[in-house]
Chain A
Amino acid sequence: MKRAVLDALIADHAAKRPVALATELSSGRQCLVYADGTEGELELAEDVLGTAHKALVDDRSFTAETANGAVFILVFNPPLRMVIVGAVHIAQLLAPMAALAGYEVTMVDPRRAFATDARFPDFTVTVEWPDEALERIAPDRRTAVVTLTHDPKLDDPALAVALRSEAFYIGSLGSKKTHAARLERLAELGFGETDFARIHGPVGLPLGAASPAEIAISIMAQVTQVLHQKRAAA
């Protein structure tokens, strides 16, 4: 690998620019594939370029068989994202777990007593109202949204924006009773069964979790499960 290629990969990562590295395995020649063009000494046929673009969208690295032999397409996408609404105790444990799993975490809580840098020294915390924050963050299909306040005036606006987005995971903390009441309120906002099915509530895999750390584990486990189920289905 040439230094210029490596430096470009590192710069693209910093700029959160999706890029794929194509390597001709027989020769070692390489090029970088972007949505709008390529850079480097390896020239790719039109169809190979097409599969490289698809690999970027699918977030899946693979080896393409071409007329010149095997070309390995290695995808570097920006990090997955997680938006946590409610800078509560569980969030203090969930945020570092998500970061370890490769997520870029944003915490949303307009209650300044919760959303302090002292509680979340390593994370972005915004005190915007949840719907405004979510609209700005614009969840895509590589974003998970988790609401933890179980306060309708904070959770509901966040869920409303998340449900209108492509977020691959939406989870909402609260008991079965709380969740049932939540769905009734969302129904009044015009959401229906298809939307309700997208919300994981009560949030997390049923591990019998009790402590904040255990609940965070159950949420992270469920987010991971849904991510891979959706990838396998893609």
Chain B
Amino acid sequence: MQDPDDVLKRAADWRAAGKGVAIATVVSTWGSSPRPVGSQLAVDESGAMAGSVSGGCIEGAVVTEALEVIRDGRPRLLDFGVTNELAWEVGLACGGKMQVYLERLE
């Protein structure tokens, strides 16, 4: 189902090069959502991305949070959807809702 070739390998390469890295994973979706459960996005400390967790709707917000996770190492669960203020800003145009788990690669 997942192909770690792209995302996880890139994450490992970044880490091996001494960069801070966070991994975002879609853990649940409701209604329409562009990427299925299990989709992953790796982010390095400069904000570079590999993979995706949406059709580009929430990546910006996820990267912002990912930089925080890289700094403090605390994993978190992000909610995106119409009830979420952040989602209003970044816009899940599909009207769906999703949860994204963010963790730092140690």
Contact = CB atoms under 8 A, between A and B. Distances in A.
Interface string B9-37: 10110010000000101011000000001
Nearest to B104: A1
Contact of A1 (B3, B9, B37, B105): B105
Contact of A25 (B3, B4, B77, B106): B77
Interface secondary structure of B, over-half rule: mixed
Interface string A1-41: 11100110110010000000001010110000000000000
Contact of A61 (B1, B3, B11, B103): B1
Interface residues of A, number: 25
A6 B23 CA distance: 11
B2 interface: yes
Interface secondary structure of A, over-half rule: mixed
Interface string A45-78: 0000000000000011111000000101011110
Contacts of A9: 4, 8
Contacts of A70: 27
27 contacts: A1-B103, A1-B104, A2-B106, A3-B15, A6-B11, A6-B12, A7-B12, A10-B4, A10-B12, A13-B3, A13-B5, A23-B25, A25-B75, A25-B77, A27-B75, A59-B1, A61-B38, A62-B37, A63-B28, A70-B27, A72-B25, A72-B27, A72-B101, A74-B25, A74-B38, A76-B1, A77-B1
Interface of B: 1-5, 8-9, 11-12, 15, 23, 25, 27-28, 37-38, 75, 77, 101, 103-106
Interface of A: 1-3, 6-7, 9-10, 13, 23, 25, 27-28, 59-63, 70, 72, 74-77, 79, 102
